[in-house]
Structure 1
Amino acid sequence: MRHLRAVTATALAACVGGIVLLPTPAQAAGSVHISKIYYDSPGRDTRTNASLNAEYVQIRNTTRAAVSLKDWSVTDGSNHRYVFGAFTLGKGKTVTIRTGKGTNNATTRYQGRTNYVWNNDRTRPP
């Protein structure tokens, strides 16, 4: 299983720079990487589905080929994990993983959670 680790927002550069998944030679130059973490949804944390879905992680494919993300996972510092089912990220495309509930499609996946995942204070828990 491939892992994309999203520990904290301040560690985003480290995640992108340190845990970039390199493509196979067939995928040519580029990578599949975390491109953005929106770790604190705007407004009060009310745990409504809209508020939960305003918290998200984006993964970008900069390779020259589509990449299957089946069984790849995104995990935070507290070991909250989202595992992709059958899903292919097209070349040059981005997928957004939202915390709350919704209908999965080609650009957005939903974790189906009822509580926030990413640490609002940008610090990693002990």
Structure 2
Amino acid sequence: MLRTRTAAAAVTTAAFAGLLALPAPAQAAGSVHLYKIYYDSPGTDSRTNASLNGEYVIVRNTTTAAVNLRGWTLTDASNHKYTFGNFTLGKGKTVTIRTGKGTNTAANLYQQRAAYVWNNDRDTATLKRSNGTRVDTCSYNSTRVDSVTC
């Protein structure tokens, strides 16, 4: 009788352990990632607000759920940092982060800067979660075009 209970207990323990070892539910399909960088605004670099807002980064959410980007950061290689406020990026949506000044909307966020961020020849954009985990990077090294698709 003792052997039967021990064997039954072992089977029950193994079955329970198997339940604990099941994979976690899948993450939402897709990702939040850097989509495109417009690093050389059109025309002369005059530092006007229109020119500053002509350089921007597009972030895209290809997951199946909205993602709150509060505390996430976007930086360049020189560590110019933009920190997202309480902003939720809808599923399948993009948001454009412009360098200059403006009023934030669901489609456009503004860094409120008076100087350019993205170098016209080469740079690296890094997107990180609020806990500092790197989500994506995108680099370019060209003066022949004004943008890069990541």
Shorter-chain TM-score tier: 0.7 to 0.9
Per-residue deviation at 1:122? 1.5
Q: Which SS does the other structure have where 2:50 is aligned?
A: helix
Shift of 1:28: 1.6
Alignment of 1:77 with 2:74, yes or no, is no
RMSD: 1.6
- Report what 2:51 is aligned to: 51
Tell me the alpha carbon deviations over residues 77-111 of structure 1, each in whole angstroms, 9 at most, x when there is no partner.
00000000100000000000000000001010000
Distance 2:25 2:118 in 1: 33
Task: Deviation per CA, 1:25-78: give whole Å up to 9, x if none.
Answer: 575210000000000101100000000000000000000000000000000000
Distance 1:106 1:26 in 2: 28
Q: Which amino acid aligns with 1:42?
A: P
Whether contact under 8 Å (2:67, 2:88) holds in the other structure is yes
* Matched length: 101
* 3-state SS, counterpart of residue 37 of structure 2: strand
Structure 2 regions of 5+ residues with no counterpart? 1-23, 125-150
**Shift of residue 123 of structure 1?**
4.8
Larger Rg belongs to: 2
AA in 1 matched with 2:79: N
Aligned-pair identity in percent equals 73
TM-score by length of 1: 0.76
Query: Superposition pairs for residues 25-104 of structure 1, below 5 Å?
Result: 28-104=28-104
Flag the 1:90–1:113 CA change in 2: closer, same or farther, 3 A. same
Relative to structure 1, is the Cα distance of residues 111 and 90 closer, same or farther in structure 2, using a 3 angstrom cutoff? same
TM-score (norm 2): 0.64
Aligned to 1:19: none
- Deviant stretches of 4+, over 2 Å: 24-27
Q: What amino acid maps onto 1:103 in structure 2?
A: T
Decide whether the 8 Å contact of 1:27 with 1:65 is kept in 2. Answer: no
SS in 2 for 1:51: helix
Conservation of the 8 A alpha-carbon contact between 2:47 and 2:114: yes
More strand by share: 2
Contact in 1 for aligned 2:30/2:62 (Cα 8 Å): yes
Whole-Å separation in 2 of the counterparts to 1:98 and 1:25: 36
